[in-house]
Amino acid sequence: MEKIFVESLNSNIAVIWFVMAIIVLRKIIKKIPKKYYSFLWLLVGIRLFIPISIKSNFSLIPSVKFFNVNDLYGRRFEINSGIKGLDDLINSYISSNYYEGVTVPAGTMIEVFKILSIIWLIGILLLGVISIVKYFSIYKKIQTAICLKDNVWQSEYVTASFVFGLIKPKIYIPFNCNKGELCYILSHEKAHIQAKDHWIKMCAYIILIFNWYNPFLWIAMKLFSEDIEMACDERATEKMNIEEKKNYAKALLNCNVSKKQLIFVEQLFFSRNIVKERITKILNYDKPSTIVVVFSIILCVLMALCFLTDPTSSIYSSTIFKLMG
């Protein structure tokens, strides 16, 4: 189990660079449609579970083997961050403070990683159980829902609209939902279903649960949740005029997301600030020009080349750094 945990650590450390790059892009390039940022977050998940190592001179990941599994069974333990100065500093400190040459028994670190792997498993089980309990709690409450039309259901236990179910997803709305705003609310939820967001979110939650110890992934999940909602707003309002957009924004504000209908990990990310940001973007959103679309696609391709691939050697020998130099 400790070997699996070390490999998980290596994957999580490598993906941190990808997460930080997307965070920086979100701050400096704001005119890109949110669906492209949502796509980049999906690539982060692929990076964590990619089955093969594809090496490239374009890779900006310093190292994919921060920890060496073989060191667990040896007398010395070193890190390989891919940044020489940092490696020399940390490894020199470890060597001078924790090793006494051959007197150190082989496999000293394996006991440490056994304990860490047990803590890792406990965290996975705890978050998994909490999410499953929450899911079935919602499922039990909506069993009394009444069908309004097609796959739209009303329930007294629902305080805000949401999509529930995977194979045959249904839209649940409260009984007191304003009839004039219903078409806008349904357009948003139908846009989620059309984009398979209910499947994407479930996969994202599973990835987060298995990698819960990485704080950068919690940040990534928060930002991904925001981007996927705003991408849905863009799809739903793409063909609306300004008056319809105002009505859509009003419906969004009146039928705000309720924590009661969110699973555990999603509850942690809910914020009223994102609702204000969404409304602002809805009212100011225009269909992106061809130039913006082409630029967005090129950016996604470059990010995939730089962060879905592994370095051939040192990061400073990569093609990107040579071009910059």
Residue 51 burial (10 A CB sphere; 0-12, 13-18, 19+): exposed
According to the model, what pLDDT value does residue 119 have?
A: 92
Q: Quick one: which H or E segment has residue 44? A: helix 34-49
- pTM beyond 0.85: the answer is no
Sheet holding 162-164, edge to edge: 146-149, 152-155, 170-174, 162-164
According to the model, what pLDDT value does residue 184 have?
A: 87
Determine phi and psi for 58, rounding to 5 degrees: -90, -10
According to the model, what pLDDT value does residue 324 have?
A: 43
Q: Quick one: which H or E segment has residue 107? A: none
Structure tokens that stand for 218 in this block: 């919690």
According to the model, what pLDDT value does residue 85 have?
A: 73
According to the model, what pLDDT value does residue 320 have?
A: 46
Q: How far apart are CA 46 and CA 224, in angstroms?
A: 14
- The pLDDT tens digits along the chain (325 residues) read 777 888 888 889 889 999 999 999 999 988 889 999 999 999 999 988 876 678 888 888 888 887 777 666 665 667 677 777 776 677 676 666 555 544 555 556 777 788 888 999 999 999 999 888 888 888 888 888 898 888 899 888 887 788 888 888 899 888 877 778 888 888 988 999 999 988 998 899 899 999 999 999 999 998 998 899 899 988 888 888 888 888 888 887 776 655 455 555 555 444 445 777 788 888 887 788 889 999 999 999 999 999 998 888 655 444 544 444 4
According to the model, what pLDDT value does residue 317 have?
A: 46
